[in-house]
Amino acid sequence: MWQDLAHRTREDLEKAGIRLFLKHRALSIYNSEKTVEIIDELERKAFFAYDRLVLATGAAPRRLGIPGIDLPGVFFLRWMDDGLKIKNHLASKRPQKIILIGGGYIGMEMAEAMLHRRLQVEVVERSQLLLKNVYPGFSRRIQTELESHGASIHTDFTVEKIELKGEKLHVIGSKGRPIRADMVLIAVGCLPQTELAASAGIRTGINGAIKVTRRMETNIPGIYAAGDCAETWNRVLNRYTYQPLGTVAHKQGRAAGENAAGGDKTFAGTLGTQSVKIMNLVYARTGLLAEEAVRAGYDPVSSRIETYDHKSYYPGASSLQLMITADKKTRRLLGAQVLGFVGAEISKRLDILATALYHQMAVDELEDLDLSYTPPLSSPWDPVQTAAQAWAQEH
Amino acid sequence: MWQDLAHRTREDLEKAGIRLFLKHRALSIYNSEKTVEIIDELERKAFFAYDRLVLATGAAPRRLGIPGIDLPGVFFLRWMDDGLKIKNHLASKRPQKIILIGGGYIGMEMAEAMLHRRLQVEVVERSQLLLKNVYPGFSRRIQTELESHGASIHTDFTVEKIELKGEKLHVIGSKGRPIRADMVLIAVGCLPQTELAASAGIRTGINGAIKVTRRMETNIPGIYAAGDCAETWNRVLNRYTYQPLGTVAHKQGRAAGENAAGGDKTFAGTLGTQSVKIMNLVYARTGLLAEEAVRAGYDPVSSRIETYDHKSYYPGASSLQLMITADKKTRRLLGAQVLGFVGAEISKRLDILATALYHQMAVDELEDLDLSYTPPLSSPWDPVQTAAQAWAQEH
């Protein structure tokens, strides 16, 4: 049941003392009166009064500014409704070939989902490589993984229009031949929804996201914002970014909510941690790549190792790759990436490095961590420590 | 090949500039002369001179002080030679029923190995529960796991003697009927080997292990000790302990070696991190249990949660349990235990908590960590954060 995807039921929320106004839309904020004008599904308007206000208006899919995105069989990916429409379309039209526009995290997950349905998958990506901000060697390995499961990948392909010719959708790019398919899914990122905030004169910044303090307060005292509609403090970059992720939204929501209720909670900031499963592979990252670190004023150097997830004499060992980026002068860890197989504890291994990064550890100190070891699951030096030792030796 | 179990070959070591004297035994240290008397396999004695000395004499199995431990078919578990003898015995005598004396980590691993060989396994443990220093509920779950794979567990069973009657070995305890088997494996811990150290007047302490500084130096300047023969600094207890583990030995060896070579490296100390795989389960711990924390002068309180390793709507989610122990006053994390299924990233999830513990984090701060999330592998709040939030709410 699609309802199972919700974290909590209506009853859960109401039991917690929250009054829910579903099918109500907020039209405008009148900050001097401390009211919000709302409209319900019968088009009746009303004013709700507030002491403090939290904006959690989220984001909407970035729409390609090209002809054809409204054709039948073309879908964006964001809300539950999108998922239900796609599911209906798959059931009723039985498309055989799917084009995914956008080779980011969501694109990868959709590629996997469609391959599991035994559909033909073609991924179209504007840049040279899948997955932005991933070490190119890892990105190429991920591409190979998708291809080995039957997907076709078209990189360096900028979509100019989508056309319907007969029964087929044609995705037409600046070069190369058009690609034909029965269905097109577009996942090229999202943009914050801030029309409501704008009505109150709330300031926006990066990508149009709402500017907030570390306490998640906007420029208007008493009005907070959190989640995909707001900017995100990055602990490693020491500046605001736009990072519409669930992990970030949860943390920001807590801070905004606690502060709106009279508490005092500072959002600790993101490290840019992300993970994704692509067929048999898991990729995870935290912090900065070398290029990002240079732009942030660091002097980064990187090391990469390939090793086994656990002692190779114990059955089932699989190879994994780790990349460590750190500042040459301070030797402080700046970022890490791990690529390996499902079942090899890749994502939580990366989280050891994310926890180290949170504490601004020097790479040399990583070997001092007392990490767990048993032959089926690790080595006496965990691979994250072997990677740190390699970095320390090389630099 | 059993040789594959060695980390490095003789050639690797010699290539690194190390002169190896295999089949040589050190008899005595003459510290005033800075020489070690050695004897080779032809009984020839000689004196080796040193500037600095590192003792890495390891430990030997703790032998039960009972009759019958030298009977044929009774084995201790420690060195390669033990493994080869056991393997030969299994091949030549084809025992069907094995008794394991000792329900600790090694006992668990041997139980699994013997069950994989489709042998009948009976585990005999002196205390009420398997695995010392494990939360009783987790210990019982581990016992159930072994039993569901066909093992019999006898707790509260103190072995008084082993007898050979006909073809069968009888393990006889203070109460209950004797247990009969074809083979007996004894894994009841180990004791440091320090005769050589004693010859030089080097001081020993806990369990007879060599006393060392944080730089791994003994009471005799210029003589260092590392690994299972030495005491271990514990970062949470703020005192020395005896913890003969591979992870600890590696770190101590680095510090001792670096300092002996003129460097300056402090052993950061252990947190008591350990993990073990038992059939389909993984158990991992770091830091202190409540009882241990009380003895160390803390005011500990614990919380335990049961949740899923990843979003339950995504196929393959499995349940795991986490226990967090922290100081009531300072709210500082003191220890954590995780129990779950193989494949659910249990051991490296525990390592996130071990890294937090290394940094003396307060439990409340754990939710600020930016950990990786993707539906097949975690939740927007990772289970370690959910456990921390539960602790923070309860205390």
> Which CATH superfamily, name and number, covers B194-270?
FAD/NAD(P)-binding domain (3.50.50.60)
B274-394, CATH topology level = FAD/NAD(P)-binding domain (3.50.50)
ipTM of the complex: 0.97
B359 touches chain A (CB under 8 A): yes
pLDDT tens, residue order, chain B (395 aa): 788 888 788 999 999 999 999 999 999 999 999 999 999 999 999 999 999 999 999 999 999 889 999 999 999 999 999 999 999 999 999 999 999 999 999 999 999 999 999 999 999 999 999 998 899 999 999 999 999 999 999 999 999 999 999 999 999 998 778 999 999 999 999 999 999 999 899 999 999 999 999 999 999 999 999 999 999 999 999 999 999 999 999 999 999 999 999 999 999 999 999 999 999 999 999 999 999 999 999 999 999 999 999 998 899 999 999 999 999 999 999 999 999 999 999 999 999 999 999 999 999 999 999 999 999 999 999 999 999 999 999 99
- Answer yes or no: do A372 and B274 touch at CB < 8 A: yes
A271 touches chain B (CB under 8 A): yes
Interface contact A334, partner B, CB < 8 A:
no
Residues 103-142 of A with CB under 8 A from B: 105, 109
| CB within 8 Å: B372 and A269 | no
Contact between B270 and A343 using a beta-carbon 8 Å cutoff: no
pLDDT in tens, A340-358: 999 999 999 999 999 999 9
Residue to test with chain A: of B106, B314, B371, B389, most A Cβ within 10 A: B371
Q: Which CATH architecture has domain A2-58+191-260?
A: 3-Layer(bba) Sandwich (3.50)
Q: Is B1 on the interface with A (CB under 8 A)?
A: no
Q: How far is CA B344 from CA A28, A284, B280, in A?
A: 46, 16, 11
- pLDDT tens per residue across span B173-204: 987 789 999 999 999 999 999 999 998 999 99
- Its pTM surpasses 0.90: yes
Instruction: Spell out the domain ranges in chain A.
Output: 2-58+191-260, 61-190, 282-394
Chain B residue numbers touching A274 (CB-CB < 8 A): 372-374
Q: Which residues contact A291 (CB under 8 A, 6 or more apart)?
A: none
What would the pLDDT profile of A133-172 be if each residue is shown by its tens digit?
899 999 999 999 999 999 999 999 999 999 999 999 999 9
CB contact under 8 A, A247 and B371: yes
Chain B residue numbers with beta carbons less than 8 Å from the beta carbon of A273 are 370-372
Asked if A393 has any chain B CB less than 8 Å from its own CB, the reply is: no
Do the first three CATH levels of B61-190 and B194-270 match, i.e. the same topology?
yes
B250 touches chain A (CB under 8 A): yes
B180 touches chain A (CB under 8 A): no
Please state which of the four CATH numbers 3.30.390.30, 3.30.70.1150, 3.40.50.300, 3.30.360.10 is assigned to the domain occupying A282-394: 3.30.390.30
Give the architecture-level CATH label for domain B61-190.
3-Layer(bba) Sandwich (3.50)
